[in-house]
Amino acid sequence: MKTVLLVIDMQVVFTSMTHECLPNILKLDAHFKAHSLPRFFTQHGHTKEELTPPLRNQLVKRWGPAGSIAKGSNDWELMPNIAKAAKDCPIIGKNTYDAFINTNLTDLLKDHAVERIVVCGVMTDCCVDTTARSAFNRGFETWLVKDASGTATKKQHESGLVGFGYAFGDVLKTTEALEKLGHEGTD
């Protein structure tokens, strides 16, 4: 089954949430790269227009312009290890929790004949969970890798995992995902 790794929003602004998950994301990335499997990365940010009243973007309304990520800012940049990993990979710019909305993600997945998406990154209970649910709703088998995802608190992390695992797809550790992928070969 053709599988893609989708790494969500591993940006400087979220560094404090990634200490435990970053090494596992890099392990997953190394596996996908070694097996010539596609790897996609997302990068969340808002234009100057979206950050200027009247506010039309719901995330900017929710968090306010000061609590939102401005495109081109230091906070918006991918973390250095992720930027290195993402070199020569598609980076999907997005401005909402769901990486499918207002992006070319669906087209990229179709172009690569993807059937399964392995999702990781930040924040577990916002962009990761929302994108993973959206992938499921679009007909993709979807795995959420729990130790390769992070968020603000343990309670939020666990809540996102429980909700996704109940109705949408498998919630796996990095070792479990790699083992399952290893038994399948490279596609």
For residue 144, pLDDT over 90 is answered with: yes
Distance CA 100, CA 81 (A): 24
56 falls in which pLDDT band (50, 70, 90)?
very high
**Phi/psi of residue 156, nearest 5 degrees:** -60, -45
For residue 185, pLDDT over 70 is answered with: no
Nearest to 86 by CA among 23, 42, 55: 42
- How many distinct helices (H) and strands (E) make up the chain? 7, 6
Structure pTM? 0.97
Neighbours of 55 (CB within 10 A): 16
Tokens standing for residue 176:
């479990």
pLDDT above 90 as % of the chain: 97
183 falls in which pLDDT band (50, 70, 90)?
confident
Q: Which residues contact 185 (CB under 8 A, 6 or more apart)?
A: none
184 falls in which pLDDT band (50, 70, 90)?
confident
- At CA 151, angle to CA 157 and CA 164, rounded to 5? 40
HSE of 86, CA atoms in CB hemisphere, 13 A: 21
Long-range contacts of 56-59 (CB under 8 A, 24+ apart): 57/95, 57/96, 58/96, 59/95, 59/96, 59/97
Neighbours of 51 (CB within 10 A): 18
Contact 41, 67 (CB under 8 A): no
